Amino acid sequence: MKLNIKPKVTLVGAGPGDPDLITVKGVKALKNAKVVLYDALINRELLEYVPKKAKRIFVGKRKGMHSFTQDEINELIVKNAFEFGNAVRLKGGDPFIFGRGAEEIDYIESFGIETEIVSGISSSMAVPASVGIPLTKRGVSESFWVITGTTTERKLSNDVYLAAQSTATVVILMGMSKLSEIVSVFKKYNKSNVPTAIIQNGTTANEKIGVGTIDSILEVVEQQKLGSPAIIVIGEVVTESAKLRSFYEQIAVNNSSYNLY
């Protein structure tokens, strides 16, 4: 028997990983949900806000282990919205920043289903901030780029080539599998000495940080066994972090060709 309830889907950004970084509005949506479809990168602690009687459906996609295709996820969202009425789609970070949230909303609304967007704190900003890296700072960086490292064709984004020519801070998501290509691009534009940080599992208890320069970051990754999910931050602002500054001060002492300031 179908419920006589108007279907609604609320697309909620779960934030970068720390469960305390979800918005109050996002928590309210979870508390009112009848069904929640959630991704692999969300912190499972957030599911504690979901009513015990509500249905929980894992629809996460991870490299090499896809439980559902995007088309299947879209269909599941619509099916459950019609069945349960109040559905929440819980996605990591902000769903409109490389989260395919816009695609899901387009599909859902094509069925006449009411939608609501609850933005999340993007890992592109929160993760660097969590280790003290300001993406912009007066006199150091006037802007920042947020780029996906891997396109839908599994290739390196052409925007990386443009970003490497700028003085902006460059934040790359989903770029670890393309790191060697990214390094080559930046070296091509004489950026070998640019400070670079890689933060794996940012804002969580499993956070790992690797710091170096474009010239050394591949070696750092190998030594520290860093992998996905991780944020790559490239730019002089990396040295502005009080947590990381001592590392770069030592580089300046050991390598007079590196201009820290």
CA distance 59 to 151: 21
Count CB-CB contacts under 10 A for residue 86: 21
Which element (helix H / strand E) includes 74?
Answer: helix 70-84
- What average pLDDT does range 139-160 have in this prediction? 91
CA distance 227 to 109: 36
- What average pLDDT does range 194-208 have in this prediction? 95
In sequence order, what are the residues at sequence separation of 6 or more whose Cβ sits closer than 8 angstroms to the Cβ of residue 167?
141, 142
3-state SS class at 26? helix
Structure confidence at residue 43 (pLDDT): 95
Per-residue pLDDT at 4 exceeds 70: no
The amino acid that residue 32 corresponds to is N
CB–CB of 170/234 below 8 Å?
Answer: yes
Percentage of residues in the chain with pLDDT exceeding 90? 81
CA distance 74 to 62: 17
CB–CB of 8/86 below 8 Å?
Answer: yes
Per-residue pLDDT at 107 exceeds 60: yes
Q: pLDDT tens for residues 13-48? A: 999 999 999 999 999 999 999 999 999 989 999 999
Active site residues: 39, 61, 174
Enter the DSSP assignment of 103: H
In sequence order, what are the residues at sequence separation of 6 or more whose Cβ sits closer than 8 angstroms to the Cβ of residue 184?
none
Task: Find, among 13, 18, 12, 58, the residue nearest to 32 by Cα.
Answer: 12
Structure confidence at residue 215 (pLDDT): 95
Count CB-CB contacts under 10 A for residue 225: 9
- What average pLDDT does range 223-246 have in this prediction? 91
3-state SS class at 101? helix
Structure confidence at residue 5 (pLDDT): 78
CA distance 174 to 195: 19
CA 215 from centroid of its chain's CA atoms? 24
